[in-house]
Amino acid sequence: MEILLEKNVPCPMRDGTVLYSDIYRPDMEGEFPVLLTRLPYNKDLPMFSHRYLDTNRLVQNGYMVIIQDVRGRFASEGEFYPFFHEAEDGYDTVEWAAKLPFSSGKVGMFGLSYYGFTQLLAAVERPPHLHAIVPAMTLSDWQTDAVNDQGKCLVGSSETWALESIAPDQIKRKSRNKEEYTSMMLKMAGYYNNIEEWYSYKPIEKWPPLKDLGVAGFFYDFITNQLSEEAQQRMSIIHKYDHVDIPAYHIAGWYDNFLQATIRNYTQLDNKTKGQRLLIGPWGHGVFGSTLGERSFGLHASGDWIDYQEDLTSLHIRWFDAILKEKTSSVMEEAPIKLFVMGTNVWRNEYEWPLARTNYTPYYFHSEGQANTCYGNGRLSVEKAGSEPHDTFVYDPSNPVPTNGGSTLFAGINTMGPRDQREIEAREDVLVYTSEPLTEPLEVTGPVKVKLWAKTDAIDTDFTAKLVDVMPDGKAFNLTDGIVRTTYQDGVKQEGSTKDTINEYEIDLWATSNVFLPGHCIRVEISSSNFPRYDTNLNTGKTMVTSKEIKEAKQTILHQNEYPSHILLPIIE
């Protein structure tokens, strides 16, 4: 089949702003369902516009594919402000696409990350001709999921995104000539090449790379949390799930920085709208290979050969065929959830999240006890702690615990996925609690939390937790992690101080699926920093966003009868 391409087709918005799209369609007579994606990363760059899908195959299977630059980006008119206009612009684009020549009038949407969220924001508006979406690795709320999570600034990812992904086109738009553009881009490249050093700059509200380049003004609105109530509402679907009334196939990764948000989108919509599906692989953000970090999960783990059955493009085709073409398709008969269980490295079908057969089991922290074959200075077991001495460490914000893999999205070397944590665990400011080697397989699948009783001599501080799978040879691979800021409760900043008081903290480690095999150990790390995934807490009551003064903090972790610090594991029998 020949494919026709129409470049830069104008699409007028309700306020007169014109957005531009590239349209791919079969070179033949007929009417075809439309598959639309809307992104800020340049429709002319296949790395971003097509990413993990073969759009040629979509067209060859009888679809018209439309890739659009969102408002204020690349070919499109207007001023870019992340997500502010995406709901209305998404509605207008869907309805425009439905009326194009050769369109059947039925529209589906696809895309990940930013262009996963453009789907959900459009769906909230209920355009009559939008029938199905596939939001992959995306968010629920821009501010919480991507910038500032309950007081903790996602410094690495937000600075990387603003400088690497957004600044170049803004520089081009403001440059008066080619020479000025070239000069500014070389300056931007200099900042980006040294971005790992710039992560430590404080106060962030004066971050030199963007200030010097004179771009991404919205970055400072986000970082300083100066968004208007209208802007916050426009950049979130948290309170709008009941507005979505179409099927959605959600795609996630155990090491994706939007894992929590994607699971939230699925579970919330599944409670309200029929036809929700969820796929979770051993993947990072936009990374669908069979290897990630320092681990290999087998060829069947790859998005190119899921369970030796199909690739992600084929999955999209089956999904859209069933809904947009009303074809008989196995996708509608399959279990609503397909997840990859690490350790045993198998795909498995499930019917609810969390799994109904979950046995939530506390594993308690203990002071150093009888040595075992797994490295660690504390014990982890199902037995409650008795009268035991507490553990202490000193947290110095000038020397934070470095991020070493995990569910991350920022520039750096091997920042994502499972990585050996032994060098981290050797630090004096990291407490390590390790179980005895297992004699039988133990599966952990579902949400993971740590209940921590702790005390600090700082006005405000952070506590972090990490779940680790320790191999028989001593390698310690991270599974999932979390952080809590002590002056926040239920997402709200509390007045006063937590200094010198024993408090109970709940640390949300998101979710994972892993079988700890015989000979392996379960390990939990406790500390007070994970930088630059999160900003370092200055221990002064102020943050890196507005201040640079720091104070060391003495941290105390308790594990006794009345203070039973533990990790709550979702055990699958």
Compute the average pLDDT of residues 456-479: 98
Neighbouring residues of 194: CB distance < 8 A, sequence distance ≥ 6: none
Looking at the structure, tell me whether residues 183 and 204 fall in a common domain. Answer: yes
The total number of structural domains in the chain stands at: 3
Confidence band, pLDDT 50/70/90 cuts, at residue 48: low
Last residue of a domain, one of 228, 252, 284: 228
pTM: 0.97
Half-sphere exposure (Cβ direction) of 4: Cα atoms closer than 13 Å: 10
Residue 39, domain member (yes or no): yes
Query: pLDDT tens digits, residue range 365-403?
Result: 998 754 444 545 799 999 998 889 999 999 999 999 999
The mean pLDDT of 546-572, rounded to a whole number, is 97
370 with 339, same domain?
A: no
Q: Do the domain assignments include residue 237?
A: no
**Are 388 and 337 found together in one domain?**
no
Q: How confident is the model at residue 218 (pLDDT cuts 50, 70, 90)?
A: confident
Tell whether 435 and 551 lie within a shared domain: yes
Q: Is residue 384 part of a domain?
A: yes
pLDDT value of position 373: 43
User: So what's the pLDDT on residue 225?
Assistant: 81
Assess whether pLDDT exceeds 90 at residue 432: yes
Asked if residue 302 and residue 183 are part of one domain, the reply reads no
CB neighbours of 516 closer than 8 A, spacing ≥ 6?
343, 438, 441, 442, 443, 444, 469, 522
Please, what is the Cα angle at 93 between 90 and 98, to 5 degrees? 125
Report the pLDDT value the prediction gives residue 50, as an integer from 0 to 100. Answer: 59
Among 400, 395, 393, which residue's Cα sits nearest to residue 533? 400
What is the model's pLDDT at position 376? 57
Q: Is 376 left (phi over 0), alpha (psi -120 to 50) or beta?
A: left
Across residues 146-168, what is the average pLDDT? Answer: 94
Within-domain flag for 421: yes
> What average pLDDT does this structure show over 204-222?
91
Q: Is the same domain home to 191 and 262?
A: no
**Domain closes at, from 195, 228, 261:** 228
Residue 236 lies in a domain: no
The identity of residue 156, as a single letter, is G
Q: Do residues 405 and 416 lie in contact, with contact meaning Cβ atoms separated by under 8 Å?
A: yes
Percent of the chain past pLDDT 70, that is, above it, reads 98
Q: 365 and 455 share a domain?
A: yes
Residue 547 falls inside a structural domain: yes
How many Cβ atoms from other residues are within 10 Å of residue 450's Cβ? 26
Asked if residue 152 is part of any domain, the answer here is yes
State the pLDDT at residue 24: 96
Nearest to 509 by CA among 265, 301, 255, 280: 255
pLDDT computed for residue 372 by the predictor: 42
DSSP 425-444: HTSTT-EEEEPPPPSS-EEE
The parent domain of residue 111 ranges over 3-136+243-349
Answer yes or no: do 8 and 93 share one domain. yes
Residues 173 and 92 in one domain: no
Least confident of 56-60, 70-74, 249-253, 497-501: 497-501
DSSP 165: I
Same domain, 264 and 116: yes
**Which residue among 228, 258, 278 closes a domain?**
228
Mean pLDDT of 230-248: 96
Residue 238 lies in a domain: no
Q: What is the mean pLDDT of residues 564-568?
A: 98
What is the tens place of the pLDDT at every residue in 127-142? 999 999 999 999 999 9
Catalytic residues: 113, 256, 285
pLDDT for the residue 47: 66
What 3-state DSSP class applies to 10? strand
> For the segment 523-544, what is each residue's pLDDT rounded down to a tens digit?
999 999 999 999 999 999 999 9
At residue 363, the pLDDT reads 98
Same domain? For 341 and 363 the reply is no
Percent of the chain with pLDDT strictly greater than 90: 89
Return the pLDDT at 371: 40
Per-residue model confidence as pLDDT tens digits over 78-136: 999 999 999 999 999 999 999 999 999 999 999 999 999 999 999 999 999 999 999 99
CATH number for position 534? 2.60.120.260
CA dist., res. 571 & res. 362, Å (int): 10
Domain identity same for 438 and 493: yes
Which uninterrupted H or E stretch holds 361?
strand 358-366
Helix (H, G, I), strand (E, B) or coil at 511: strand
Report the CATH number at residue 314: 3.40.50.1820
